[in-house]
Amino acid sequence: MRAARPIIFACVFLGAGVLHVQAFDLTGTWEGGWTCRVQNNGTFAPIVKEAVIMKITHSGSTVYMDLDNERYHYSGWAKADNDNAKRGALTVVECRTSPTSTVFNEVISARVKVSSGGGELNGTSTLCFTDSIHTDIGGICQLTFKRTSVADPGVGPCPPPSPICAALPHRLVCSSEYGSQDFFK
């Protein structure tokens, strides 16, 4: 028995027999969809979209996400639950979101469970936007996704806002999601 103690002691401190806890990592490709209740021009209507691909790159607490074939791009944070490293929360903001934008604004908040080969993401999206078809639309969506791959899709941070410029007589006016600038005024 005396010889067994040093062997057990060495095994435990050298890592043999130690359970390795998987880090909370959302990186990968996820498949799922959403169901929304939106107000479109003053009338409530449902919007359902299935077979949506979501790609996430997660490093530390930072998360970058593309949704619906890169139609929507997000940046935000994720954190593991203190009691269970395989559960946590995610909050991301769509890159075009701005307090002065009427183009598109969205925030997603979700509960997430991860495993070595998969995971589940269930959350809520709050959105509002205007476009050429809808004079105003806003709503709340329920999202449900399952991870189908843990390979890193290489999603990067939000791109810088692209300015829209108009040449006027003796002036150049540019505006973006972050405001406008009148040159040569």
Give domain status of residue 111, yes or no: yes
Q: For Cα atoms 107, 28, 50, give the angle at the middle one, nearest 5 degrees.
A: 60
Joined tokens for residue 65: 């996400």
pLDDT band, very low/low/confident/very high, at 82 (cuts 50, 70, 90): very high
Amino acid (1-letter code) at residue 133: I
- Residues 10/13/17/22 CA torsion (nearest 10 deg): -170
Range with top average pLDDT, 10-24, 83-97, 163-177: 83-97
Q: Retrieve residue 82's tokens.
A: 């203190």
Per-residue pLDDT band for 31 (boundaries 50, 70, 90) equals very high
Give the number of domains in the chain: 1
Task: Flag whether 17 is in a domain.
Answer: no
- pLDDT value at 60 more than 90: yes
Question: Quick check: pTM over 0.75?
Answer: no
For residue 18, being part of any structural domain is answered with no
Q: What domain range includes position 129? A: 23-183
CATH number at residue 44: 2.40.128.420
pLDDT at 169 over 90: no
